[in-house]
Amino acid sequence: MIVVDTNVIVNLTLQTEEYPAASTLLDVDPQWYAPYLWRSEFRNALTLYMRHRNLSIEEARDAMKASEELMYGRETFVDPMTILDLVASSTCSAYDCEFVALAQELRVPLVTTDKQILRDFPRVAHALADYR
């Protein structure tokens, strides 16, 4: 069991350059968890891909469905006070700290591509490219 940030889900679902690492991660540990926030962030990523990388609306809808199926039953709310505590002790956004808080709550690693999270939370955050 691991927590993944939205970028990892994007990499897998949209088959980006980091797709091989995300696919390997899914093989190594298929129990991915995330806060409900991932859905909004994912839709925002789809918006960027539609506007700047020629992703069609049909492809975006398929990606949304695939990501929802992947994460079904493994989404959760995170304590807002914990998030604020993490914000106060880091340079990360509240959005990023939501993923960190969930990983800490579940006592599992957070796999991410976010350099700021990796720098500010080295005990819980692991780089997608390095996680095995």
What is the number of other CB atoms lying within 10 angstroms of the CB of residue 40? Answer: 11
Number of domains in the chain: 1
Domain span including residue 51: 2-127
Would 21 be classed as within a structural domain? yes
40 has pLDDT over 80: yes
Task: Tell me the chain's radius of gyration from C-alpha atoms.
Answer: 14
Residue range 23-41: average pLDDT? 97
**Per-residue confidence (pLDDT) for residue 81, from 0 to 100:** 98
Would 132 be classed as within a structural domain? no
In the sheet where 32-35 sits, what is the strand order?
75-76, 32-35, 2-4, 110-112, 125-127
Would 48 be classed as within a structural domain? yes
CATH at 31: 3.40.50.1010
pTM of the model: 0.95
Residue range 85-96: average pLDDT? 98
Confidence class for position 12, pLDDT limits 50, 70, 90:
very high
What is the number of other CB atoms lying within 10 angstroms of the CB of residue 123? Answer: 10
Would 89 be classed as within a structural domain? yes
**pLDDT over 90 for what percent of the chain?**
98
**Per-residue confidence (pLDDT) for residue 132, from 0 to 100:** 75
Residue range 108-131: average pLDDT? 97
Would 97 be classed as within a structural domain? yes
